[in-house]
Amino acid sequence: MIKLENKIDKIKAILQKNDYRVTEGRKEIIKVFVNSNRHLSPLEVYELVKDKNISLPTVYRTIDILKSNGIIKEVSFNNERYFELKLFSQKCMHIHFRCQKCGKIIDIYDTNIILKLIEIRNELEKQYDFLIEDVSATLCGLCSECRKG
């Protein structure tokens, strides 16, 4: 497993290679994603870094830069944007489920379902001559806790 500082250094190198400055603010935002194991909205990221004198526009700009450089991945639910670390992620392909009542986001890793998703991707590539580089599947409904409550 790659250490935290090594991950941050690798991300900094990617950004610098693409002519982005890595300010202290951007470094703090990068740390948030590297340390997180959940999906974060821009406002959640801001709440975690605002005490370090980092503005909300800086958070949004940095998120856009990290996304465009393949470092984080966007997951959208009902026009709400969430982000998770893509680079160094231990997560294999997975499906997102968002509870419409409590807002919880659950990652689904069921092997049989993922294999079916891969089959669908392969069939689409074959049938339409696509090269699909990423698959994102999102389900919405009520989680088991909210269904009981």
Annotated binding-site residues for Zn(2+) read: 99, 102, 143, 146
Q: What are the binding residues?
A: 99, 102, 143, 146
Q: Are 7 and 34 in contact (CB under 8 A)?
A: yes
In the chain, what's the furthest Cα-to-Cα distance? 52
